[in-house]
Amino acid sequence: MSHDSRNDPHAAEPTLPDDFIPDAYRHLPTAEGVSTVEERFDFDFRSYNDPQDGQRWSTWLSVEPLCRGPEPRPDWVVTSQGAVDTELGILKTGKEADVHLVERADPHDPDGGVVMAAKRYRSSEHRTFHRAASYTEGRSMQRSRDERAIKRKSTFGRRIAAGEWAVSEWAALVRFWQLGLPVPYPVQIDEVEILMEWISVVDEDGLQQTAPRLAQTRPSPERLQSYFDQLSGALAMMVQNGVVHGDLSAYNILAQGDRLVIIDLPQMVDLVGNVNGMDFLQRDCANVCDWFRARGLQVDEHALFAELIAQAF
């Protein structure tokens, strides 16, 4: 009796020769053939190690485009997806915020890295609400729940308020930068953290250091005059654009060699939209003039104020 194994489900599997390769796989390179793989398949694979303690992946790509600084962007801004942010230490702790130094660099291009100042607003119990109401007056609050929460100073309110200050400092930095005023370039905002240009100077040993506050310097008479001229020019430009710094003093101005850089802008107010606008401008003029007078430059805050107002309207 003949038996056809092809139709018999109980027949044993055919035995295949040891070097049998099913048709579908015949085109694949064998172990010896690997070196002949076409060049276009031979891409350069570079691995990135996970961030260590005190590091995180760069947050550049995780924030909304509007939370990144204005164009044209300085060429030192690091935008690489593989970049890592490394905490370098704290620059200063303050009532509302702490300022840290953060380096952002792609591990495969360490020379292209940059050190930035990271200003982080606090939302802790210890945050003060000093003058908060007069600064935020007139600033539109979209959700009345937010407004009520801030009034109650609830936990939710504190969180919103910290974000509010960060957002208002961010908006002021962007506006001032776009006007051409001497402020640090605003790199990005991520919730309560603002990353900005680190204002630094090179010391006698060739090391980069944080630029001193104007209050810590004793400039020569010529430089003192030049500093005052720079500041009056900056104040005039602010006033002509209808804004007031609101907390200007020799502590919120950095001396970068012969150039002054204005910082700490969350209290920026409208000159006319805020009922305290004029008072804040007057106080800014007084603070600045006090310091210059103490260093020996004969300046008058009333004259400065009058000159600014004359230019504004």
Ligand X SMILES: Nc1ncnc2c1ncn2[C@@H]1O[C@H](COP(=O)(O)OP(=O)(O)O)[C@@H](O)[C@H]1O
The CA distance from 283 to 242, in Å, is 16
Q: Is 248 in the site for ligand X (CB under 6 A)?
A: no
Q: Using CB under 6 A as the criterion, what x/- string covers residues 151-190 for binding ligand X? A: ---------------------------------x------
Torsion of CA 185, 189, 192, 194, to 10 degrees: -20
Q: Is 117 in the site for ligand X (CB under 6 A)?
A: yes
The CA distance from 299 to 75, in Å, is 39
Best CA proximity match to 37, nearest among 28, 24, 46: 28
The CA distance from 112 to 210, in Å, is 20
Q: Is 99 in the site for ligand X (CB under 6 A)?
A: yes
| 51 cis-preceded (ω within 30 degrees of 0) | no
Residue 254 or residue 269: which is nearer to ligand X going by CB? 254
Residue 134 or residue 240: which is nearer to ligand X going by CB? 134
Among 78, 187, 199, 250, binds ligand X (CB under 6 A): 199
Q: Using CB under 5 A as the criterion, what x/- string covers residues 247-286 for binding Mg ion? A: -----x-----------x----------------------
Residue 164 or residue 247: which is nearer to Mg ion going by CB? 247
Interaction residues for ligand X, span 203-242 (CB under 6 A): 210-211, 213
Q: Is 308 in the site for ligand X (CB under 6 A)?
A: no
Residue 106 or residue 197: which is nearer to ligand X going by CB? 197
Piece of the chain touching ligand X by CB under 6 A; list 19-27, 191-199, 220-228, 238-246: 191-199
Residue 264 or residue 301: which is nearer to Mg ion going by CB? 264
The residue nearest ligand X at its CB is 94
Best CA proximity match to 267, nearest among 149, 153, 132: 132
Pairs from 70-74 (Cβ < 8 Å, separation ≥ 24): 70/174, 70/177, 70/178, 70/186, 74/185, 74/197
In the chain, count of helices (H) and strands (E)? Answer: 6, 12
To the nearest 10 degrees (0 to 180), the angle between helices 277-294 and 221-240 is 170
Q: Is 96 in the site for ligand X (CB under 6 A)?
A: yes
The CA distance from 47 to 114, in Å, is 21
Residues that bind ligand X (CB under 6 A): 91-92, 94, 96-97, 99, 117, 119, 184, 196-199, 210-211, 213, 251-252, 254, 263-264
Residues that bind Mg ion (CB under 5 A): 252, 264
